[in-house]
């Protein structure tokens, strides 16, 4: 197990040096192995300083983002597609410059509720543009992890199976799925089966509750999810993602519909999440062992 990560928006949506430092120290002190940042603008953030702090605290890093409408690589407008590829290239560079290897999130189309169904042309346009970004990422030592999200946040990749089809069309070895239990709980026929089906191509995992608050206080069957992760031999990161109206990012909070304050004490929340994931995975391992062990008479 590479370890357990935490999304920086548990700590703060800000990117001032003080806010970033607080996020790093909190993650480190609570025993997380990775911190995920939403894309940070290198013009506003001292990337070299941040890379140094990550290294000093022995924290791995992942970068996530959702393409904006003006950078939708599935667009009919070639200028918008071109802008989207440039945005992906910048995010790849940031990931590399921070010492990370994973770019994740909604990378194949714009993040947000779409008013029309996806067309074949939009799919093909996206695949073709994404190939360029995947090539750039390969040279940067970065994997591209396509987040599969619910219908209200994208009209393209809503299920793991759709994500696998997209990856097959792109045909690059450094493209994987970024699965998120919050979204899967809405769209998949069976979350555990979907994880097993996509096993070979999963690159990153978000653990989030059905209301995005405290793990275990919503309606997601986490036992089934931890069983599936253990069954496929998942050894990479699982990252806790949670949002509350206590911490607002003007863009992401609105797009993801964060209207309720599901928590205010983020330290208590993160400590609980790490314990919940650790115990959940450990329990799943014990269950797997028990099912394999034949108790026979001596």
E-assigned strands of 148-224? 175-180, 202-207
Which residue in the list 153, 188, 209, 241 is annotated as catalytic?
241
| 96 touching Mn ion, by CB under 5 A | no
DSSP annotation of 70: G
Residue number, 53 or 274, with CB nearest to Mn ion: 274
Region binding Mn ion by CB under 5 A among candidate stretches 30-38, 109-117, 200-208, 219-227 = 200-208
Burial label, 211 (beta-carbon count in 10 A; 0-12, 13-18, 19+) = middle
Residue number, 62 or 88, with CB nearest to Mn ion: 62
Q: CB of residue 155 vs Mn ion: minimum separation in angstroms?
A: 17
Rounded-to-integer distance, Cα 15 and Cα 29, Å = 20
User: What is the total count of residues that contact Mn ion (CB under 5 A)?
Assistant: 3
Q: Which of 33, 36, 60, 180 is the binder for Mn ion (CB under 5 A)?
A: 180
Q: CB of residue 209 vs Mn ion: minimum separation in angstroms?
A: 12
Q: CB of residue 287 vs Mn ion: minimum separation in angstroms?
A: 26
Instruction: Considering only residues 221 through 280, tell me which ones interact with Mn ion, judged by CB under 5 A.
Output: 241
Rounded-to-integer distance, Cα 213 and Cα 232, Å = 26
Q: Any catalytic annotation for residue 29?
A: no
Rounded-to-integer distance, Cα 245 and Cα 228, Å = 31
Q: Any catalytic annotation for residue 289?
A: no
| 206 touching Mn ion, by CB under 5 A | yes
Instruction: Report yes or no: 61 and 98 within 8 Å, Cβ to Cβ.
Output: yes
Burial label, 297 (beta-carbon count in 10 A; 0-12, 13-18, 19+) = exposed
Give the binding site for Mn ion (CB under 5 A): 180, 206, 241
Residues forming the active site: 147, 241
């Amino acid at each position: 197990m590479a370890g357990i990560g935490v999304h920086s928006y548990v700590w703060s949506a800000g990117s001032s040096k003080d806010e970033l430092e607080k996020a790093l120290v909190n993650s480190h002190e609570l025993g997380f192995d990775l911190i995920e940042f939403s894309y940070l603008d290198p013009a506003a953030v001292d990337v070299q300083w941040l890379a140094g702090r990550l290294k000093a605290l022995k924290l791995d890093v992942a970068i996530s983002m959702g393409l904006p409408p003006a950078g939708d690589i599935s667009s009919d407008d070639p200028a918008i597609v071109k802008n989207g590829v440039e945005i992906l290239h910048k995010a790849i560079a940031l990931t590399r410059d921070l010492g990370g290897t994973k770019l994740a999130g909604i990378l194949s189309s714009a993040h947000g509720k779409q008013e029309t169904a996806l067309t074949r042309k939009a799919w093909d346009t996206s695949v073709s543009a994404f190939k360029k970004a995947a090539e750039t990422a390969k040279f940067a030592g970065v994997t591209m992890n396509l987040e599969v999200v619910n219908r209200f946040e994208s009209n393209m990749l809503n299920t793991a199976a759709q994500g696998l089809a997209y990856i097959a069309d792109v045909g690059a070895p450094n493209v994987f799925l970024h699965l998120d239990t919050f979204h899967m709980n809405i769209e998949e026929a069976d979350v555990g089966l979907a994880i097993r089906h996509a096993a070979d191509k999963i690159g990153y995992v978000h653990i989030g509750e059905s209301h995005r608050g405290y793990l275990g206080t919503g309606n997601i069957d986490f036992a089934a999810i931890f069983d599936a992760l253990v069954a496929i031999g998942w050894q990479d990161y699982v990252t806790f993602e949670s949002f509350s109206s206590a911490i607002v990012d003007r863009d992401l909070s609105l797009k993801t519909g964060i209207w309720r304050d599901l928590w205010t004490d983020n330290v208590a929340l993160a400590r609980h999440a790490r314990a919940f994931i650790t115990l959940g995975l450990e329990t799943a391992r014990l269950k797997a062992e028990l099912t394999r062990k034949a108790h026979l008479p001596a």
